[in-house]
């Protein structure tokens, strides 16, 4: 996955609570095992009016032109609840999202997102609503997310957040589970050498 420590992007406000993984990516699309092509299926049941995904729902925000280039998503409480499958983060990343701001996240989804370079940032409800209000007035508004400083910047305003070190390191170094394991390659080789002598 692509490493990053700073991201500047436009914001899509979707202030709904309990957006589960089946709403992010319906279960019928979870049969694929590669990570490519899921972006067009993101929020499928909200995004399309037909079963084939050929008729867009013009009322759904993701289909509206002013939000089409968003790479930061604002949501409500308990984002990513439901299934533990990793496909939902795949869909968000494949679409182009790099950051999700919400009040809270499901634990398993939180870990799966980090494995795919997607930063999940918890912020208080009043801050999320304030940002969403500003974005609704100006859809071209951007935020600057800095994982090294644990800060989000908008103009002269800034919002602090916290993130476990192992999560931020995964994202800033572009490490999936194999990459995390390979960080300990010297210890692995030393262990194997010792075992071969026994």
Q: Which domain holds residue 44?
A: 6-197
Average pLDDT, the chain: 91
pLDDT at 63: 96
Residue range 112-154, pLDDT digits in tens:
999 999 999 999 999 999 999 999 999 999 999 999 999 999 9
Is the model's pLDDT at 182 over the cut of 60? no
Which has the minimum average pLDDT: 33-37, 125-129, 168-172? 33-37
pLDDT at 156: 87
Domain presence at residue 171: yes
Token look-up 């308990």 returns 78
Q: Pick the closest to residue 70 from 153, 19, 17, 9 (CA basis).
A: 9
Tokens encoding 174: 């572009």
Going from the C-alpha of 165 to that of each of 65, 100, 125, 168, the distances in angstroms are 37, 18, 24, 5
Number of domains composing the chain: 1
Instruction: Check: CB of residue 139 under 8 Å from CB of residue 66.
Output: yes
More confident residue, 85 or 41: 41
Q: What is the pTM (predicted TM-score) of this model? A: 0.89
What CATH number does residue 13 fall under? 3.20.19.10
Contact yes or no for 47/60 (Cβ under 8 A): yes
From start to end of the chain, where are the E strands? 6-13, 70-74, 99-102, 119-122, 142-146, 151-154, 157-160
Helices (H) and strands (E) in the chain, counts: 8, 7
- The answer to whether position 1 is within a domain reads no
Kindly indicate the confidence band of residue 1, based on its pLDDT and cuts at 50, 70 and 90. Answer: confident
Residue 111 belongs to some domain of the structure? yes
Q: Is residue 70 in a domain?
A: yes
Task: Give the span between the Cα atoms of 100 and 72, in whole angstroms.
Answer: 6
């Amino acid at each position: 996955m692509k490493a990053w420590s700073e991201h500047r992007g436009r914001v899509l406000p979707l202030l709904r609570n309990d957006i589960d993984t089946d709403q992010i990516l319906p279960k019928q699309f979870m049969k694929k095992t590669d990570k490519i092509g899921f972006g067009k299926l993101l929020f499928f049941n909200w995004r399309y009016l037909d079963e084939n995904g050929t008729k867009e729902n013009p009322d759904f925000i993701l289909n509206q032109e002013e939000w089409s280039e968003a790479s930061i998503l604002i949501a409500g409480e308990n984002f990513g609840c439901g299934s533990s499958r990793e496909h939902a983060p795949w869909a968000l990343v494949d679409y182009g999202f790099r950051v999700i701001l919400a009040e809270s996240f499901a634990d398993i989804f939180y870990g799966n997102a980090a494995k795919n370079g997607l930063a999940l940032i918890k912020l208080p409800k009043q801050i999320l609503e304030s940002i969403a209000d500003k974005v609704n007035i100006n859809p071209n508004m951007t935020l600057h997310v800095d994982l090294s400083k644990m800060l989000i910047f908008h103009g002269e305003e800034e919002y602090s957040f916290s993130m476990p070190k192992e999560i931020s390191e995964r994202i800033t170094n572009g490490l999936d589970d194999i990459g995390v394991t390979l960080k300990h390659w010297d210890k692995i080789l030393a262990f194997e050498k010792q075992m071969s002598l026994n």
